[in-house]
Structures are given as C-alpha cells and as structure tokens.
C-alpha cells in the first residue's frame, strides 16, 4: 500500500476541508480519514514501529495524536458552521451511549460484623448501646479496678486530653456507667471505637473497634459465659463445630479472667501460618470483679456476672480472611465493597 507522510496528510486535509460545502462532505471526510482503510491508518502503516527507538515512537505518538485532534476539532467547527450551533450540540450528545456508572457505597467489614453481632446478641436478650468515646479517667481505669499506680495502666498507652479526660482505650469504659444507669439484672453490649497510642503496623492500629458485653444477674457462672460465647461463635462463623478453650488471663476488672481461644478455622487446629499453634486468641473475658459491681452500685453478694471485650477488627479479619489491619482505614471503596452480609 502506498504510504503517506504527516505533512501530506496535513496539507491534503487543509485543502479538502475548505471544499466541504455540506454535512455529507463532512461525513465523507470522516470516512476517508478515520475509516478502517482511511488516511490515518495508512499513515500508521507507513512506520515500522519495530525499528523505531522508544524516543521515536513517543515523537510519532505525540504528532499522530495532535494531528488527529486537529482533524476532529476542525471537522466539528466546520460542521457547526454548516448546520448551526444548536444542531451540532444535539449531535454531540449521543443519547444511545450508556450513562455514567455511579458507584454504590458498601458497608465496611467492621460494621458488617458489628451489625451481625448485634443481631445475634439481641437474639440472646442483650440490648445494643453506644457509649461516649471521650470518657473520664475514672470510667476508663479506676472504676474498673485499675488504680493510678497499678501496672495494668501501662498495658494501654492512652491518649490523654488536656482536660484530664481520655479517648477510651477499651469499651470496658461502659461497664460501670451501664451498671449505675440500669442496675441488675442487665444484659448489654457496647460496640464502638477505641484508641491507643500505638505504632501502626500490619496488626496494630491506633484506632480499632471492640464490642464489650456484660451480663449480670443472680447465679451467673462461667458456664453461662461459655454458653453465650459458643452460641456467638457458631452464629458468626455459621458452623456449630467451633472449638474453644479458656486459658487464664489477667484483667483487673474480672476475677477469674480468661483468654478465650478458638481452634483455627483455616487449618482445623493442625497449626498454620495464620495461627501457628492451631488456636487463635479471640475474646478476653471473665467474671465481673466484685469491686466493679460495687462501683456500679450493684450488690456483689446478690449478683454475679460475666464480661467480655471482643476485638471487632480482629473478628472481621478472621471472618473475611483479611491479612492486614491497615486496610480497614484505607478508605478505598474497592476494599470495602468485597464483603457481604451473612445475616
Ligand atoms: N478491655 C480489655 C482490653 O481492651 C478486654 C477485656 C478483657 C474486656 C476482659 C472484658 C473482659 O470485658 O472481661 O484489653
């Protein structure tokens, strides 16, 4: 096929466009230049890209695109002159093109887990409530049996506000206010955001989500705690063979305190890269300390109870196999929209 140069195209077009007297001529020019076997195609075919250096290819690209743009813009102008601006405007809007997609938002995986847990706990007679994120030092620490000089305060690096209040380091800060407000018997959960002064890495964030649970009544024992935890886990993971174990754990506001582990659902307890030991530490919990009940105005000689502080972020990571905690706060809708509610 006969090849053609940029200059030839430019000159030929300048001449032919002046000769266009009607819309039909414009259409013909479009076909002649832009068609499958048109001038632009021939122009491209005249170059052997395999022999060209990257620099030459780039120069070709720029020149080609500039010329094509000039061609398109000139035709629009000439067309506008020929038929009047209004008509051109109408022609430019192609009503048959599909509309622009508007992205639909998605529920964040932590919220999904939270919503699911609220439904499960409500099914067991718990109320779901929210508490403040800025709390008194007393409610975050002292009321929970963590006095000023207690080493447990060092366990949590705290954001202190200038007025002496703190950003709650755990949702356990709701325990005593709830007891004071509602008294016993009580079944309540408090999902919410907590803050710790942490270095951010793959498994630590300075902002994370917990779900605190508190059940106080007459004769509540560890058996009730285990029963509620088992129900919760089988509903969250949609299977009734989730194995749990309790290890002793120290938290000043419970006695005895436990770490509740679940057998790894990925490897069935054999030990894998995620769990290493076959078990995953999931829910710290215990029997409410008599001092906490007293601070809440509940008589520990009449009532007992259990409490737990479930890491919602951790649970969402387990449930949806999310390997990296920083993804939760990345604000990228492509991340959020991968997860689907299961209740
Ligand atoms: N508040 C504790 C923490 O953030 C977790 C916790 C442990 C909560 C034991 C509880 C509990 O209610 O009984 O580390």
Length of the chain: 343
| Per-residue pLDDT, 31 | 92
User: Measured between alpha carbons, how far is 117 from 228 in angstroms, rounded to an integer?
Assistant: 12
For residues 209 and 117, the answer to whether their CB atoms sit within 8 Å is no
Atom 9 of ligand 1, nearest CA residue: 285
Q: What is the pLDDT along the chain (343 residues), one digit of tens a residue?
A: 567 888 989 999 999 988 888 888 888 999 999 888 889 998 888 888 888 899 999 999 999 999 999 999 998 888 888 776 555 555 567 788 888 888 777 889 999 999 999 999 999 999 999 999 999 999 999 999 998 887 767 666 899 999 999 999 999 999 999 999 999 999 999 999 999 988 877 767 788 899 999 999 999 999 999 999 999 999 999 988 889 999 999 999 999 999 999 998 778 889 887 778 999 899 999 999 999 999 999 999 999 999 999 999 889 888 888 877 788 888 888 898 888 766 5
Atom number in ligand 1 closest to CA 254 = 13
Residue whose CB lies within 8 A of the most ligand 1 atoms, among 253, 260, 287, 315, for a mutation test? 253
Buried/exposed 138-168: b ≥16 CB within 10 Å, e otherwise: ebbbbbbbbeeeeeebeebebeeeeeebbbb
Atom number in ligand 1 closest to CA 309 = 8
Atom number in ligand 1 closest to CA 258 = 9
Fold of 109-342: BirA Bifunctional Protein; domain 2 (3.30.930)
Residue 160 has phi, psi (to 5 degrees) of -95, 140
| Per-residue pLDDT, 90 | 54
Largest CA distance in the chain: 103
Cα of 88 vs centre of ligand 1, distance in Å, is 69
User: Measured between alpha carbons, how far is 141 from 147 in angstroms, rounded to an integer?
Assistant: 7
User: Measured between alpha carbons, how far is 97 from 199 in angstroms, rounded to an integer?
Assistant: 50
Residues 6+ apart with CB under 8 A from 260: 229, 244, 245, 246, 281, 282, 283, 284, 285, 308
Cite the DSSP H helix spans in the chain: 6-19, 23-34, 39-45, 54-83, 85-92, 109-123, 137-140, 175-182, 222-236, 290-295, 312-320, 333-336
The tokens 């999904």 sit on which residue? 112
* Lining residues, ligand 1, CB within 6 Å: 170, 172, 212, 251, 254, 257, 284-286, 307-309
Beta bridge partners of 135: 166
pTM (global) more than 0.85: no
| Per-residue pLDDT, 333 | 83
Atom 4 of ligand 1, nearest CA residue: 170
User: Measured between alpha carbons, how far is 54 from 340 in angstroms, rounded to an integer?
Assistant: 46
């Amino acid at each position: 096929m006969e090849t053609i140069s940029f200059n030839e195209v430019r000159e030929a077009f300048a001449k032919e466009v002046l000769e266009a007297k009607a819309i039909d001529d414009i259409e013909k020019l479009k076909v002649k230049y832009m068609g499958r076997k048109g001038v632009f195609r021939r122009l491209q075919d005249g170059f052997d890209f395999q022999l060209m250096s990257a620099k030459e290819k780039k120069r070709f690209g720029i020149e080609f695109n500039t010329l094509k743009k000039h061609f398109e813009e000139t035709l629009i102008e000439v067309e506008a002159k020929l038929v009047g601006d209004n008509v051109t405007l109408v022609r430019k809007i192609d009503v048959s093109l599909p509309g622009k997609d508007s992205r639909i938002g998605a529920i964040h995986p932590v919220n999904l887990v939270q919503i699911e847990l609220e439904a499960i706990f409500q099914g067991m007679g718990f109320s779901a409530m929210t508490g403040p994120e800025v709390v008194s030092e007393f409610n975050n620490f002292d009321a929970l049996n963590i006095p000023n000089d207690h080493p447990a305060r060092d366990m949590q690096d705290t954001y202190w506000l200038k007025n002496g209040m703190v950003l709650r380091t755990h949702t356990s800060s709701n325990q005593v206010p709830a007891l004071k407000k509602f008294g016993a018997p009580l079944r309540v959960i408090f999902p919410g955001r907590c803050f710790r002064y942490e270095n951010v890495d793959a498994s630590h964030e300075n902002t994370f989500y917990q779900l605190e649970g508190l059940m106080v009544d007459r004769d509540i024992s560890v058996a009730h705690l285990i029963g509620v935890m088992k129900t919760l886990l089988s509903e969250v993971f949609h299977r009734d063979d989730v194995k749990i174990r309790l290890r002793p754990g120290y938290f000043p506001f419970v006695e005895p305190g436990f770490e509740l582990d679940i057998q790894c659902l990925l490897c069935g307890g054999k030990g894998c890269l995620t769990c290493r030991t076959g078990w995953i530490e999931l829910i710290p919990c215990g029997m409410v300390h008599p001092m906490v009940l007293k601070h809440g105005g509940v008589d520990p000689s009449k009532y007992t109870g259990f409490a737990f502080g479930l890491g919602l972020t951790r649970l969402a990571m387990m449930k949806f196999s999310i390997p990296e905690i920083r993804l939760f706060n990345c604000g990228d809708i492509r991340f959020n929209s991968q997860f689907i509610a299961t209740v």
